Amino acid sequence: MSRRAVFLDRDGVVVAAVVRDGKPFSPMTLEELRVLPGVPDALAKLHAAGYTLVVVTNQPDVARGAQAREVVDAMHDRLRHELPLDAVYCCFHDDADGCACRKPAPGMLRDAARDLDLDLAASFMVGDRWRDTEAGSAAGCRTIFVDHKYAERQPQTVDARVTSLPEAVVWILGVS
């Protein structure tokens, strides 16, 4: 029997993005990695409700040579240790690579569904950028947009707009 999941973008949803000139960027060091307020409790509520929790994150700075993969791996190890996450899927490619895993492509969500026996139609994607919600829609999930008012393209169609992961969890638990 397939399980339901909540897919979570990393930067801007689970951890604080580094915002410069209105645009979000990934933290570059373990010291910059900061779990956002309310996230541990929000994830605990989802976990208690029976959701599988999966981080799906684009980290193109590795392909661009601006970030070491070992640092990103250490960040994910720390998050798995500190939070009730079931899995972390990471795309290290850049747009030019044309991979199936880089959001807005749904590859990471589909891979997780296959690996973890997840029902995508009964699942949610929570993200703070258009790429996240488009990936969720393409995978057949309901989508929640965490709106930080970034100075960039906004998603066109989402199931809910919120200002934080704790607010998204209230919405998810209210509709499930």
- Our separate counts of H helices and E strands in the chain read 5, 8
Whose CA is closest to 58, among 119, 8, 118, 111? 8
Is residue 52 within 8 A of residue 118, CB to CB? The reply is yes
Residue 9 annotated among the catalytic residues of the structure: yes
Among 9, 61, 128, 132, the active-site one is 9
Residue 77 annotated among the catalytic residues of the structure: no
Is residue 54 within 8 A of residue 116, CB to CB? The reply is yes
DSSP notation for 47-95: HHTT-EEEEEEE-TTTTTTSS-HHHHHHHHHHHHHHS--SEEEEE---G
Residues acting as catalytic residues: 9, 11
